[in-house]
Amino acid sequence: MKSLQQFSKKYLGSILVLIFLIGITSYIILKNHELNDLVDTISTCDIKYLLIGVGLVLCHILFESFSMQVVANALKAPFSVLRGVVYTCIDLYYSAITPSATGGQPVLAYYMNKDGIPISKSSIVLLLYTIMYKVVLLFLGICVMIFHGNFIFNNGIAVWVLFFVGVVINLCAIGVCLLSMFSEKLVYVVAKKLFYLLAKIHLVKQPEDKLVSLSKSIEEYHKGAAFILENGRVLFKMFIHTVVQRVAFFSVSYCVYRSFGLKSCGYFDILALQVVISIAVDSLPLPGAVGVTEGMFLLLYHVVYNKMTITPAMIITRGITFYFSIIFCGIVTVIYHVYTARKNSELRRELEKSDRFL
């Protein structure tokens, strides 16, 4: 397994790209607005609703930890609620700074392994959570299409396209995971041909190494399949926890809406808008989906806010759901890293003393 130093070097580029995207997005959004006007508008918000929004982000973190904890307990690799919250913060922080949210799980597997949870078990926990996350997102998307389709998709063809591209990408991701679980040979044969084809056109180097890595992943997926077939009740609990997690996160936008003293749109209307945005940007190869998320917000929420409030509302919503989340999770990650580093250092010193005594 890679060391944390290797992970840090790998993700440095993603952090720089994220900072660049934040800078560009901020410039584009703010260039046509007076900063004082934005501050004045934001200052009129009811702080009570914004604090509830912050609480919902913390609830989102807590219920992700519950989802992983349910599977870990079933695998006889239990961890405490507090440790689960730390793991969730590590996952969310590294996912936020990497394209398509791909960075969280490798680092989380590293920390779980350091805490004594074998890779064979952590990989199943993370795999099933990934699948469940996408299943719940699509479930909520279907609910939106059935109950709020007209409200959402009257915003033009661009919304339809982004939404359905997101649906297709998520369906493909779920399909590949399930295929890897239940049809190992087929996936290996197809991947082998694909790797060698990409090697011929110089898009992939050392296809043999890639196949070895793929074989290990498929083996882990197969273990996940066995777990699914034997633990339906665990998966149901995981589904409920993930639904609560996603709904809590999407509800932040309603709290921001109410903080402006607005009431004309219902809770489920606002929730539906956030589900569409999340599906549309979920798999985009941009750290934190920065830029596109803000653009989607301004495109969809013009039916909710007027010209004076839509930009401040977007700033507050993203400030709570993304920037507060990444700062909070980053602080927890750093504290936990320092704690584990000191703990390991003390353990090494104790071992050295024991060796000298012997």
339 falls in which pLDDT band (50, 70, 90)?
confident
- pLDDT of 32 above 80: no
Task: Give whichever of 122-136, 273-287, 342-356 has the largest mean pLDDT.
Answer: 122-136
Q: Which residues of 279-314 are buried (b: 16+ CB within 10 A; e: fewer)?
A: bbbbbbebbbbbbbbbbbbebbbeebbeeebbbbbb
Instruction: Specify the pLDDT at position 290.
Output: 73
In this prediction, residues 71-93 reach a mean pLDDT of: 91
Task: Give whichever of 18-27, 207-216, 334-343 has the largest mean pLDDT.
Answer: 334-343
Separation between Cα atoms, residue 122 and residue 111, nearest integer Å: 10
**Would you give the end-to-end CA distance of the chain in angstroms?**
32
- pLDDT of 4 above 60: no
Domain ranges for the chain? 4-161+225-357
Instruction: Specify the pLDDT at position 67.
Output: 93
Instruction: Specify the pLDDT at position 260.
Output: 93
Among 274, 260, 253, which residue's Cα sits nearest to residue 317?
253
Provide, rounded to the nearest whole percent, the portion of the chain with pLDDT above 70: 75
145-182: pLDDT as tens digits: 888 777 666 766 777 777 888 888 888 888 877 776 67
In this prediction, residues 81-101 reach a mean pLDDT of: 86
In this prediction, residues 284-297 reach a mean pLDDT of: 73
